Structure 1
Amino acid sequence: MNKIFIPIICTFRLLAHSMHSTTMASLDSESKGNFKVPAGRPAAHILPKIEGTRGKENEMVFCCASASTQHVLYFPGDVQDYAELMEQDSHTRKWSKWNLEDTAILLSKRFPNSYIWVIRPARKFAGGFNCFDNFVEGDTIGTPVYSKNLTAISHLKALLYNAVKYVNQELQTTDGDFAKRYSRFMNQKKEDDLECEEKSSAPVVDAQLPVVIAGFSKGCIVMNQMLHELQNARQDEGAAEFLQQWKALYWLDGGHSGTKDTWITDVDVLRDLTDLQIDIQVHMTPYQSRNPQKPWTGKEAKIFMDTLQGLGAKIIFKNHFEERGPSLKYHFGILEMF
């Protein structure tokens, strides 16, 4: 585990996620009944495939700190994957520090008192390209084709609520050792008027807490798709209720392999975002803001931010590593800086 300290981490047995048998055979893990705990990674937990809408499923990584008061949903960028898979691939090994499990731990440090949910894309192309097919239509390598169809928001809500249901079931059926740890966890909430037995029988995770959504690099395409859906989402009872939970959106050096639509520039869509009256943060590095190989990205980002500011949105922008040139090293480094 990276050198990150988290005061209290919920640990529980997790179901072995569905992968190819050759991959599963290579995972270094300690078996416990029907569950597998990744060796040396007690803080981040790989959940089995979680169902969303219309039979679609995504694997997720869960990390939780004490007295959590919000959910943080994170969409990773290209290359990011499970630690074992990144180490096995010569093309991704160099960036294995940014694996999904350690990123979940890193986010737990950035967002203390939060339930962290890292959402793995349903499809990977050539080992590195993230394809978020369950959220947004795209080509072979996952370059998005945005639409106003209500797909991403509804699927994300279903994923979160079903993941919470799964976690609550596992936390309530674990052994006595965990029950003691959980009791200490619940005591952090200072609900002194409840008896310990009542605490341990109550749901551990509340699905209806405020929601923060963050995307890094390619992961930002899911957030962009959700913006296109906002108008229709307000007409759907379930989606509209989910929007009420949204607290903040974080764009972290957003980008993809296409030659346009890296950032939303449609004023009507951005007005819908402004109307939510939530916090918006944009963090960039020269890899996206002034990369000569894709000059449109920086131009679109400026339109995105200028338009939101003109509409009165609550937006914060910061350019990191501004003195450096475009670099994948600092592109990933934004995850430690924002």
Structure 2
Amino acid sequence: MDRWTGVVNVSLSKGGTGPFFKIAASLLLSPFKTLAVPSINAIFFRGDRVEGTGDPLIERLSDSQSLLATLLSKFQNSAVNAWVVEASTYNGAFAMYREMIPTVNSRGEPECYDPVGFPAASSITSFISDCVNQIQDKLSTSISKESIPPTSSQKTIVLGFSKGGTVVNQLVTEISSLAIQDTSKSVHTSTHHNSENFIFPTCSEGFLSSISEFHYIDVGLNCSGAYLTDKAIIKNLGNYLVNNDHCISFFLHGTPRQWNDPYRPWIKKEKDLMLHLLREEACKSEGKLKVLERFYLGDKNPSLHMHFEIIDAVNLS
């Protein structure tokens, strides 16, 4: 199937005056060269900037379009739309996902994860919708409405690499908050209504209810917060899944660069605690919550090279 592939710059500010998210996208096209409806949307959130290393692998996987090609290769024979998202703002090398995580400090590190107002979900649905509109304008076509699948069958896979894992944590927190709101009816209603462009959910609740997988890819911070360790959040997530028609799989992928770092031992401790909490809830979830841990390159010494090498090596199945 043919694709439209390129880079789109979008802003959440009124009038599109910036700051801009740089988003590399590869979208399915129908035989009539209109945007086709995917069965999967895969969204990859990048980490801090790494420049001038002289390492060909790091340089390749620091480029959004090269990263997009690698991501697509993981979904062979799938009707997938792929999106690689850079933070809209950097403080030096530090990625600042402030629109999605309002509590981040000057280094882009979250002080906490607060679900009020669904800042991550609302930001993502807004800028992806803007991307779709811009791409439609470039194609000068509408969306193919042939063989449109039921909305409930369209899934979203969210991947966070390095600091991009903080966006994953924020989204998990936002889904968890649905358990303590009387929203089960509105979620299902909006899930049906939200597909006005049929490419991607256009409301926060519809987007959150479409997420089927979270992938943490060698995440880590220079402070706590790389993994969720709040028992109440994980418990509420489990309760929400049990009481709704929603299943989520968690994949925790790591290398010695993060999980064996003697100078940042909290990363492994947080990972182990989150893994324990997820497994506890999985046992009570009637099969709606699944969790898997994968360790890569364990026979090598920790390095920045391996931190990027995992992107090539990661198994998403």
| Pair in the same fold by TM > 0.5 | yes
Alignment check: 8 A CA contact 2:171 2:208 kept: no
Q: What is residue 38 of structure 1 aligned with on the other side?
A: none
Counterparts in 2 of 1:9 and 1:318: CA distance versus 1, 3 Å: same
Alignment check: 8 A CA contact 2:10 2:127 kept: no
Alignment check: 8 A CA contact 1:9 1:63 kept: no
User: Where in structure 1 are there 5+ consecutive unaligned residues?
Assistant: 1-7, 12-43, 81-85, 174-199
**Structure 1 CA distance for aligned equivalents of residues 147 and 159 of structure 2:** 20
2:129 matches 1:161: yes
Q: What is residue 139 of structure 2 aligned with on the other side?
A: 171
Three-state SS of the structure 2 residue aligned to 1:139 is: coil
Counterparts in 2 of 1:228 and 1:264: CA distance versus 1, 3 Å: same
Q: What is residue 273 of structure 1 aligned with on the other side?
A: 237
**Structure 2 CA distance for aligned equivalents of residues 45 and 9 of structure 1:** 13
- 1:140-289 equivalences under 5 Å are 140-148=106-114, 149=116, 150-173=118-141, 202=144, 209-233=154-178, 235=181, 237=186, 238-258=203-223, 260-274=224-238, 275-276=240-241, 277-289=247-259
Q: Aligned match of 1:327 in 293, 303, 313?
A: 303
Alignment RMSD, CA only? Answer: 2.8
Three-state SS of the structure 2 residue aligned to 1:62 is: strand
Alignment check: 8 A CA contact 2:9 2:20 kept: no
- Structure 1 residue 93: Cα displacement: 6.9
**Structure 2 CA distance for aligned equivalents of residues 205 and 249 of structure 1:** 27
- Structure 1 residue 50: Cα displacement: 4.4
Moved more, 208-217 or 238-247: 238-247
Three-state SS of the structure 2 residue aligned to 1:138 is: coil
Moved more, 161-170 or 102-111: 161-170
Three-state SS of the structure 2 residue aligned to 1:250 is: strand
Q: What is residue 22 of structure 1 aligned with on the other side?
A: none
Structure having the higher Rg: 1
Three-state SS of the structure 2 residue aligned to 1:145 is: coil
Q: What amino acid maps onto 1:305 in structure 2?
A: L
Q: Deviations over 1:224-253 (max 9, x none)?
A: 122222344564644322222111111101
Alignment check: 8 A CA contact 2:98 2:108 kept: yes
Q: Deviations over 1:4-56 (max 9, x none)?
A: xxxx5524xxxxxxxxxxxxxxxxxxxxxxxxxxxxxxxx4110224389977
Moved more, 56-65 or 238-247: 56-65
TM-score (norm 2): 0.74
**Structure 2 CA distance for aligned equivalents of residues 102 and 46 of structure 1:** 11
TM-score (norm 1): 0.70
Q: What is residue 64 of structure 2 aligned with on the other side?
A: 100
Alignment check: 8 A CA contact 1:50 1:60 kept: no
Moved more, 130-139 or 216-225: 130-139
**Structure 2 CA distance for aligned equivalents of residues 156 and 106 of structure 1:** 22
Q: Aligned match of 2:84 in 114, 118, 127?
A: 118
Q: Deviations over 1:185-206 (max 9, x none)?
A: xxxxxxxxxxxxxxx7636998
Q: What amino acid maps onto 2:60 in structure 1?
A: K
- Structure 1 residue 120: Cα displacement: 1.2
- Structure 1 residue 103: Cα displacement: 0.4
Q: What is residue 18 of structure 1 aligned with on the other side?
A: none
